[in-house]
């Protein structure tokens, strides 16, 4: 039980891990990527805006001639202050050596600012970058009337407003993510319960069956036609089959006991009558001993048949397949059984349509076909006829044993291959026979991957057709 629970927890854990890997992690990654992309977009837009601003102001400086004429210093200070106030940016103007010529904050004037962005603007092209402290610097060069670079304009601004805006949308989205995760987790737990619940129930049922409770069944919910329910149906069917095997095993044992008891009781009665009757004449002794002897023969025959059947069932002795002439096999059988037919003046005919060779176990097939021919002779009245025919096609050989004997009723035909089944039990005692012959024949034919069919009409006759593949494949 512990193990079963354990395995159902494992499946549940696997489902939850799958859900985390396939659901939560991609959701979080997606959210983070979306935030980062949004933030980068706004920062890029801001860079463009600042570069634009720096360009406009650099053009304005060139036109105003602030850099070349120091008498404009005051106008330059006022101008830069005003522009900074209007735009909200800090503006720094440097000369071509990086020395600060003007600063909207007024703090850096006179200092040399050797920022890489300023160098790049002087040496190559205008540039806008995001700083570690979160500010954006946009630097453009200032040119004189001849187009010579004489300085730079640096426009700087913080990005805190962008961060604030992104953070503002982050919170509700994260809350939504957590909510979605919980809803999906609850869904996964419910789903895993609907999968593992019936699965552990099924395992319990199988376990109970393996402990010998073959009557245990899994309740099948007709509505949910999923794989687990199909498995439950399959397990129930398997249990039915096992129960059938168990019942037929018990029947077999009780049949064997019953069949052996009959001759044993006769022997007991016969021997007791001799023992109690000490004055009995010699002829009576001989008579009774003959009867005892024939009962022992009968038991012997039955035990031999039983042993043959058990060996066939257990496949204890593997079949010895060899390519044999079926014509030879049938001729031998006919030769051996002809005296039996002659005793009853039965016309035993043999007709081979073709020469046939097939992979068979000769001893076993001889026994199987002999049973059919013996039955045909046994269940045909004196003067009747029995016909054995051999034919084949590309794949199979067909052996037909037909008689015009007593025949069988239609509804008996499905039972005659069962062990110990005899149609007329009283008659069977006269004719001999154990009721095992046809079971042996069928088991043998099955082991050859063949089949056996019977048609019969009461008082008209019976025909058995045995099909055996020409080549044996394991
Ligand atoms: P048995 O040893 O009694 O012959 P089988 O298993 O060979 O046992 O046959 C089972 C029963 O099938 C027989 O008891 C008989 O009633 C019936 N049967 C078999 N072969 C024939 C046949 N050719 N004609 C009529 N009945 C047959």
Give me the domains of the chain, ranges plus CATH numbers.
Answer: 2-163 (3.30.450.20), 227-313 (1.10.287.130), 322-469 (3.30.565.10)
Confidence (pLDDT) at 433 = 72
Q: Indicate the average pLDDT of the chain.
A: 87
Lowest mean per-residue pLDDT among 211-225, 280-294, 299-313, 392-406: 211-225
Q: Compute, in angstroms, the gap from residue 240 CA to the centroid of ligand 1.
A: 29
Confidence (pLDDT) at 158 = 84
State the Cα–Cα distance between residues 218 and 204, nearest whole angstrom: 9
Q: Compute, in angstroms, the gap from residue 305 CA to the centroid of ligand 1.
A: 14
Say yes or no to pLDDT of 4 above 60: no
Q: Which residues of 392-421 are buried (b: 16+ CB within 10 A; e: fewer)?
A: beeebbbbbbbbbbbbbeeeeeeebbbbbb
Q: Is 440 in the pocket of ligand 1 (CB under 6 A)?
A: no
Q: Which atom of ligand 1 is nearest to the CA of 438?
A: 6
Say yes or no to pLDDT of 80 above 70: yes
Confidence (pLDDT) at 5 = 53
Q: Compute, in angstroms, the gap from residue 280 CA to the centroid of ligand 1.
A: 39
* Among 444, 441, 465, 442, CA closest to 453: 465
Stretch 437-464: mean pLDDT? 95
Q: Compute, in angstroms, the gap from residue 426 CA to the centroid of ligand 1.
A: 13
Q: Is 437 in the pocket of ligand 1 (CB under 6 A)?
A: yes
Say yes or no to pLDDT of 285 above 60: yes
Confidence (pLDDT) at 348 = 96
Q: Compute, in angstroms, the gap from residue 1 CA to the centroid of ligand 1.
A: 51
pLDDT in tens, 106-118: 788 888 888 888 8
Q: Is 403 in the pocket of ligand 1 (CB under 6 A)?
A: yes
Q: Compute, in angstroms, the gap from residue 211 CA to the centroid of ligand 1.
A: 39
Q: Compute, in angstroms, the gap from residue 165 CA to the centroid of ligand 1.
A: 97
Closest Cα to atom 13 of ligand 1: 422
Q: Is 434 in the pocket of ligand 1 (CB under 6 A)?
A: yes
Q: Which of 58-72, 120-134, 283-297 ranks highest by mean pLDDT?
A: 283-297
pLDDT in tens, 11-22: 778 888 888 888
Closest Cα to atom 23 of ligand 1: 376
Pairwise pLDDT comparison (470 vs 89), residue with the higher score: 470
Say yes or no to pLDDT of 372 above 60: yes
User: C-alpha angle 274/278/280, rounded to 5°?
Assistant: 70
Stretch 399-405: mean pLDDT? 97
Q: Is 408 in the pocket of ligand 1 (CB under 6 A)?
A: yes
Tell me the HSE value of 103 on the side-chain side, using a 13 A CA sphere.
12
Closest Cα to atom 25 of ligand 1: 407
Q: Is 422 in the pocket of ligand 1 (CB under 6 A)?
A: yes
pLDDT in tens, 335-353: 999 999 999 999 999 999 9
Q: Is 433 in the pocket of ligand 1 (CB under 6 A)?
A: yes
Say yes or no to pLDDT of 137 above 60: yes
Q: Is 368 in the pocket of ligand 1 (CB under 6 A)?
A: no
Say yes or no to pLDDT of 428 above 70: no
State the Cα–Cα distance between residues 136 and 159, nearest whole angstrom: 7
Query: Which residue(s) pair with 351 in the sheet?
Result: 389
Burial of residue 313, with CB atoms counted within 10 A of its CB: 0-12 exposed, 13-18 middle, 19 or more buried: exposed
Stretch 26-38: mean pLDDT? 89
Closest Cα to atom 20 of ligand 1: 375
Stretch 317-327: mean pLDDT? 90
pLDDT in tens, 148-166: 888 999 999 888 888 888 8
Say yes or no to pLDDT of 8 above 70: no
State the Cα–Cα distance between residues 411 and 433, nearest whole angstrom: 21
Confidence of residue 391 (pLDDT cuts 50, 70, 90): very high
Q: Is 228 in the pocket of ligand 1 (CB under 6 A)?
A: no
Confidence of residue 220 (pLDDT cuts 50, 70, 90): confident
Q: Compute, in angstroms, the gap from residue 301 CA to the centroid of ligand 1.
A: 16
Q: Compute, in angstroms, the gap from residue 252 CA to the centroid of ligand 1.
A: 18
Q: Is 406 in the pocket of ligand 1 (CB under 6 A)?
A: yes
Say yes or no to pLDDT of 393 above 90: yes
pTM of the model: 0.57
Query: Which residue(s) pair with 28 in the sheet?
Result: none
Rg, Å, the chain Cα set: 52
């Amino acid at each position: 039980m512990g193990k079963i629970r354990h395995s159902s927890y494992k499946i549940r854990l696997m489902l939850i891990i799958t859900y985390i890997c396939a659901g939560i992690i991609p959701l979080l990654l997606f959210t983070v990527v979306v935030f980062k992309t949004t933030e980068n977009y706004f920062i890029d837009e801001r860079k463009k805006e600042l570069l634009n601003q720096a360009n406009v102001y650099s053009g304005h400086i060139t036109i105003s001639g602030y850099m070349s004429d120091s008498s404009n210093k005051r106008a330059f200070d006022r101008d830069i202050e005003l522009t900074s106030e209007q735009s909200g940016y800090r503006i720094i103007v440097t000369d071509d050596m990086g020395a600060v010529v003007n600063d909207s904050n007024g703090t850096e004037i006179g200092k040399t600012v050797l920022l890489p962005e300023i160098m790049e603007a002087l040496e190559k092209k205008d540039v806008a970058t995001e700083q570690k402290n979160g500010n954006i610097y946009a630097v453009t060069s200032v040119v004189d009337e001849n187009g010579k670079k004489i300085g730079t304009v640096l426009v700087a601004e913080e990005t805190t407003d962008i961060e604030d805006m992104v953070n503002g949308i982050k919170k509700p989205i994260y809350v939504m993510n957590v909510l979605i995760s919980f809803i999906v987790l609850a869904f996964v737990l419910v789903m895993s319960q609907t999968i593992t619940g019936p699965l552990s129930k099924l395992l319990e049922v199988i376990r109970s069956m393996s402990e010998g409770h073959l009557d245990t069944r899994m309740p099948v919910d007709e509505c949910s036609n999923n794989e687990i329910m199909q498995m439950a149906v399959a397990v129930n069917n398997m249990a039915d089959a096992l129960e059938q095997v168990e019942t037929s095993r018990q029947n077999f044992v009780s049949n064997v006991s019953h069949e052996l008891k009959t001759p044993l009781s006769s022997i007991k009665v016969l021997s007791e009558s001799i023992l109690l009757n000490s004055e009995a004449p010699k002829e009576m002794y001989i008579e009774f001993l003959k009867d005892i002897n024939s009962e022992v023969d009968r038991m012997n025959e039955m035990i031999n048949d039983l042993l043959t059947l058990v060996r066939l069932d257990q496949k204890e002795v593997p079949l010895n397949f060899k390519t044999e002439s079926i014509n030879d096999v049938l001729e031998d059988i006919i030769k051996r059984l002809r005296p039996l037919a002659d005793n009853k003046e039965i016309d035993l005919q043999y007709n081979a349509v073709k020469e046939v060779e097939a992979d068979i176990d000769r001893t076993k097939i001889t026994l199987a076909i002999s049973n059919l021919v013996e039955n045909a002779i046994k269940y045909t009245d004196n003067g009747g006829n029995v016909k054995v025919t051999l034919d084949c096609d590309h794949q199979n050989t067909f052996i037909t044993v037909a008689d015009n004997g007593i025949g069988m009723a239609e509804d008996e035909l499905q039972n005659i291959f069962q062990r110990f089944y005899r149609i007329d039990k009283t008659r069977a005692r006269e004719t001999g026979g154990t009721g095992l012959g046809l079971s042996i024949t069928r088991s043998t034919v099955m082991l050859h991957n063949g089949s056996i069919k019977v048609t019969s009409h009461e008082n008209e006759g019976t025909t058995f057709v045995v099909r055996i593949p020409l080549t044996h494949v394991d």
